[in-house]
């Protein structure tokens, strides 16, 4: 974690869960989630966990709960 940027680099991973209760975040600021070189904004919409799955094209997608 670096300020308002959260960076994740993966190798040979198809799915994982990010538990946001284990990370101290300042939700009053814009938080950039950078995964394997791609950026998106992290919001409370899916609090407290995000379930990621890699698509057949190699991008990351958030799985519905």
Task: Place 54 in a pLDDT band, splitting at 50, 70 and 90.
Answer: very high
Which pLDDT value is given to residue 56?
92
Cα–Cα distance for residue pair 57/37, rounded to 1 Å: 15
Alpha-helical (H) ranges within the chain are: none
Which pLDDT value is given to residue 8?
92
List the chain domain ranges.
5-63
pLDDT tens digit string along 1-52? 455 888 999 999 999 999 988 888 888 888 899 999 888 888 887 778 899 9
Name the pairing type of β-strands 15-19 and 49-54. Answer: antiparallel
Which pLDDT value is given to residue 3?
55
> Which pTM does this prediction carry?
0.77
């Amino acid at each position: 974690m670096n300020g308002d940027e959260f960076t994740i680099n993966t190798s040979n991973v198809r799915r994982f869960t990010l538990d946001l209760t284990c990370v101290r975040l300042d939700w009053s600021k814009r938080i950039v989630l950078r995964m394997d070189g791609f950026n998106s904004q992290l919001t409370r919409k899916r609090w407290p966990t995000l379930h990621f799955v890699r698509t057949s094209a190699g991008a990351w997608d958030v799985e519905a709960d």
